[in-house]
Amino acid sequence: MTTETAPSPTSSDSPPPHGEPRVVDVLVVGGGSASETAGPRAAAAGLSVAVVEGSLVGGECPFWACVPSKAMLLAAHGHRRSGSDDHDAAWAWALRRRTDATAGRDDSGKADGLRAAGVELVRGWASVERDDAGGGLARVRRGGGSPDDPGELVDVLRWRTLVLATGSAPAAPPVDGLDDVATWTSDEALSSDHRPASLLVLGGGAVGCELAQVYASFGVRTTLVETAPRLLASENPSVGDAVAQALTGTGVDVRTGVTASRARADGDGVVLELDDGSEVTGERVLLASGRRPRLECVQTLGFDTTGAGALAVDDRYRVLADGRPLDDVYAVGDVNGRAPYTHGANYQARVVADALVGRPREGDETGMPRAVYVDPPVLATGLSADGAREAGHDVVVATQASSDTGRAHVERYDGPGTVELVVDAASGVLLGASVVGPEADSWGGELVLAVRGRLDVELLAEVVHPFPAWGELLLPAAEDARDQVRARRGDEQPGGGAEQPAHTA
Amino acid sequence: MTTETAPSPTSSDSPPPHGEPRVVDVLVVGGGSASETAGPRAAAAGLSVAVVEGSLVGGECPFWACVPSKAMLLAAHGHRRSGSDDHDAAWAWALRRRTDATAGRDDSGKADGLRAAGVELVRGWASVERDDAGGGLARVRRGGGSPDDPGELVDVLRWRTLVLATGSAPAAPPVDGLDDVATWTSDEALSSDHRPASLLVLGGGAVGCELAQVYASFGVRTTLVETAPRLLASENPSVGDAVAQALTGTGVDVRTGVTASRARADGDGVVLELDDGSEVTGERVLLASGRRPRLECVQTLGFDTTGAGALAVDDRYRVLADGRPLDDVYAVGDVNGRAPYTHGANYQARVVADALVGRPREGDETGMPRAVYVDPPVLATGLSADGAREAGHDVVVATQASSDTGRAHVERYDGPGTVELVVDAASGVLLGASVVGPEADSWGGELVLAVRGRLDVELLAEVVHPFPAWGELLLPAAEDARDQVRARRGDEQPGGGAEQPAHTA
- pLDDT tens figures, B453-465: 999 999 999 999 9
Between CA B180 and CA B186, with CA B185 as vertex, the angle to 5 degrees is 155
- B243 has a pLDDT exceeding 90: yes
Domain with CATH 3.30.390.30 in chain A: 376-492
pLDDT tier at B398, thresholds 50, 70, 90:
very high
Is B165 one of the annotated binding-site residues? Answer: no
Q: Is A231 left (phi over 0), alpha (psi -120 to 50) or beta?
A: beta
8 Å CB contact between B242 and B229:
no
DSSP letter string over B34-88?
HHHHHHHHHHHTT--EEEEESS-TB-HHHHHSHHHHHHHHHHHHHHHHHT---HH
* Partners of residue A354 in chain B, C-beta under 8 Å: 496
Cα–Cα distance measured from residue B279 to residue A47, given in angstroms and rounded to the nearest whole number: 61
The single-letter code of the amino acid at A63 is F
* A104 interfacial to chain B (CB closer than 8 Å): no
Between CA B290 and CA B294, with CA B293 as vertex, the angle to 5 degrees is 130
Cα–Cα distance measured from residue A181 to residue A449, given in angstroms and rounded to the nearest whole number: 45
The single-letter code of the amino acid at A309 is G
Task: Using DSSP, state whether A419 is helix, strand or coil.
Answer: strand
Q: Which of A98, A449, A483 to mutate to test the interface with B (most CBs of B within 10 A)?
A: A449
Cα–Cα distance measured from residue B329 to residue A103, given in angstroms and rounded to the nearest whole number: 64
User: Which residues in A148-159 are b (16+ Cβ under 10 Å) and which e?
Assistant: eebbebbbbbbb
- B492 has a pLDDT exceeding 60: no
Interface of B with A in 457-486 (CB under 8 A): 459-460, 462-472, 474
Asked if B370 and A466 come within 8 Å (Cβ–Cβ), the reply is yes
Is B367 one of the annotated binding-site residues? Answer: no
Is A204 one of the annotated binding-site residues? Answer: yes
The single-letter code of the amino acid at B363 is G
Q: Which of A410, A448, A455, A482 to mutate to test the interface with B (most CBs of B within 10 A)?
A: A410
Neighbours of A66 (CB within 10 A): 28
Of B101, B342, B503, the CB nearest to A160: B503
Nearest CA in chain B to A455: B453
Tell me the average pLDDT across B195-211.
98
Asked if A409 and B2 come within 8 Å (Cβ–Cβ), the reply is no
Start-to-end CA span in chain B (Å) = 71
pLDDT of residue B277: 97
Q: For chain A, which residues score pLDDT lower than 50?
A: 1-15, 493-505
Lowest mean pLDDT among A453-467, B104-118, B137-151, B375-389: B137-151
Q: Where are the alpha helices (DSSP H) in A206-360?
A: 206-217, 237-249, 342-356
Lowest mean pLDDT among A297-301, B289-293, B490-494: B490-494
Asked if A502 and B1 come within 8 Å (Cβ–Cβ), the reply is yes
* B356 interfacial to chain A (CB closer than 8 Å): yes
CA B182 to chain centre: 26
Helix axes A87-101, A66-82, angle to 10 degrees: 150
* B5 interfacial to chain A (CB closer than 8 Å): no
8 Å CB contact between B447 and B418:
no
Evaluate the omega torsion of the peptide bond into residue B466 and state whether it is cis, within 30 degrees of 0.
no
Burial class (CB in 10 A: 0-12, 13-18, 19+), B154: middle
Cα–Cα distance measured from residue B436 to residue B419, given in angstroms and rounded to the nearest whole number: 7
The top-level CATH class assigned to B172-289 is alpha beta
The single-letter code of the amino acid at B43 is A
Cα–Cα distance measured from residue A42 to residue A117, given in angstroms and rounded to the nearest whole number: 10
Helix and strand totals (H; E) in chain A: 15, 23
Q: In the 3-class helix/strand/coil scheme, how is B413-438 assigned residue by residue?
A: CCCCCEEEEEEECCCCEEEEEEEECC
Asked if A443 and B445 come within 8 Å (Cβ–Cβ), the reply is yes
Between CA A233 and CA B381, with CA A444 as vertex, the angle to 5 degrees is 170
* Partners of residue B455 in chain A, C-beta under 8 Å: 449, 453
8 Å CB contact between A410 and B67:
yes
CATH T-level topology, domain B22-58+107-169+292-356:
FAD/NAD(P)-binding domain (3.50.50)
8 Å CB contact between B252 and B240:
no
pLDDT of residue B17: 55
Residues 6+ apart with CB under 8 A from A186: A64, A65, A69, A170, A207, A211, A286, A287, A288
Is A208 one of the annotated binding-site residues? Answer: yes
Tell me the average pLDDT across B122-135.
94
ipTM of the complex: 0.93
- pLDDT tens figures, B245-264: 999 999 999 999 999 999 99
C-alpha closest to that of A370 among A239, A476, A227: A239
Residues 6+ apart with CB under 8 A from A417: A242, A376, A400, A401, A402, A403, A404, A405, A408, A436, A437, A438, A473
* Partners of residue B370 in chain A, C-beta under 8 Å: 466
pLDDT of residue A504: 38
Asked if A358 and B501 come within 8 Å (Cβ–Cβ), the reply is yes
* B441 interfacial to chain A (CB closer than 8 Å): yes
φ, ψ at A465 (rounded to 5°): -105, 140
Residue pairs between chains A and B whose CB atoms are closer than 8 Å? 243
pLDDT of residue B146: 59
Evaluate the omega torsion of the peptide bond into residue A360 and state whether it is cis, within 30 degrees of 0.
no
- pLDDT tens figures, B402-433: 899 999 999 999 999 999 999 999 999 999 99
8 Å CB contact between B398 and B481:
yes
* A424 interfacial to chain B (CB closer than 8 Å): no
User: Which residues in B1-31 are b (16+ Cβ under 10 Å) and which e?
Assistant: ebbeebeebeebeeebeeeebbbbbbbbbbb
H or E, element range at A119: none
Tell me the average pLDDT across B181-206.
97
**Length, in residues, of chain A:** 505
The single-letter code of the amino acid at A443 is W
Is B207 one of the annotated binding-site residues? Answer: yes
8 Å CB contact between A212 and A410:
no
Cα–Cα distance measured from residue B367 to residue B454, given in angstroms and rounded to the nearest whole number: 9
Half-sphere exposure of B59 (CA within 13 A, CB side): 28
Asked if B346 and A467 come within 8 Å (Cβ–Cβ), the reply is yes
Domain with CATH 3.50.50.60 in chain B: 22-58+107-169+292-356, 172-289
Cα–Cα distance measured from residue A142 to residue B402, given in angstroms and rounded to the nearest whole number: 38
Task: Using DSSP, state whether A346 is helix, strand or coil.
Answer: helix
State how far residue B59 is from chain A, nearest Cα, in angstroms: 14
Q: Kind of pairing, strands B183-185 and B198-202?
A: unpaired
Cα–Cα distance measured from residue B76 to residue B90, given in angstroms and rounded to the nearest whole number: 8
Is B206 one of the annotated binding-site residues? Answer: yes
Q: Kind of pairing, strands B152-164 and B22-29?
A: parallel
Q: Which of B4, B465, B475 to mutate to test the interface with A (most CBs of A within 10 A)?
A: B465
Residues 6+ apart with CB under 8 A from A288: A186, A201, A202, A203, A205, A207, A208, A211
- B502 has a pLDDT exceeding 80: no
State how far residue B269 is from chain A, nearest Cα, in angstroms: 33
Asked if A410 and B2 come within 8 Å (Cβ–Cβ), the reply is no
Asked if B410 and A347 come within 8 Å (Cβ–Cβ), the reply is no
DSSP letter string over B264-325?
EEETTEEEEEETTS-EEEESEEEE-S-EEE--GGGTTS---B-TTSPBPB-TT-EEEETTEE
Q: In the 3-class helix/strand/coil scheme, how is B7-35 assigned residue by residue?
A: CCCCCCCCCCCCCCCEEEEEEEECCEHHH
State how far residue B175 is from chain A, nearest Cα, in angstroms: 31
Q: In the 3-class helix/strand/coil scheme, how is B255-266 assigned residue by residue?
A: EECCCEEEEEEE
Task: Using DSSP, state whether B378 is helix, strand or coil.
Answer: strand
Asked if B446 and A441 come within 8 Å (Cβ–Cβ), the reply is no
CATH T-level topology, domain B376-493:
Enolase-like; domain 1 (3.30.390)
Residues facing residue A345 across a β-bridge: none
* Partners of residue B449 in chain A, C-beta under 8 Å: 446, 449-450, 455, 459-460, 463
Asked if B471 and A442 come within 8 Å (Cβ–Cβ), the reply is yes
State how far residue B337 is from chain A, nearest Cα, in angstroms: 17
Superfamily designation of domain A376-492:
FAD/NAD-linked reductase, C-terminal dimerisation domain (3.30.390.30)
8 Å CB contact between A28 and A39:
yes
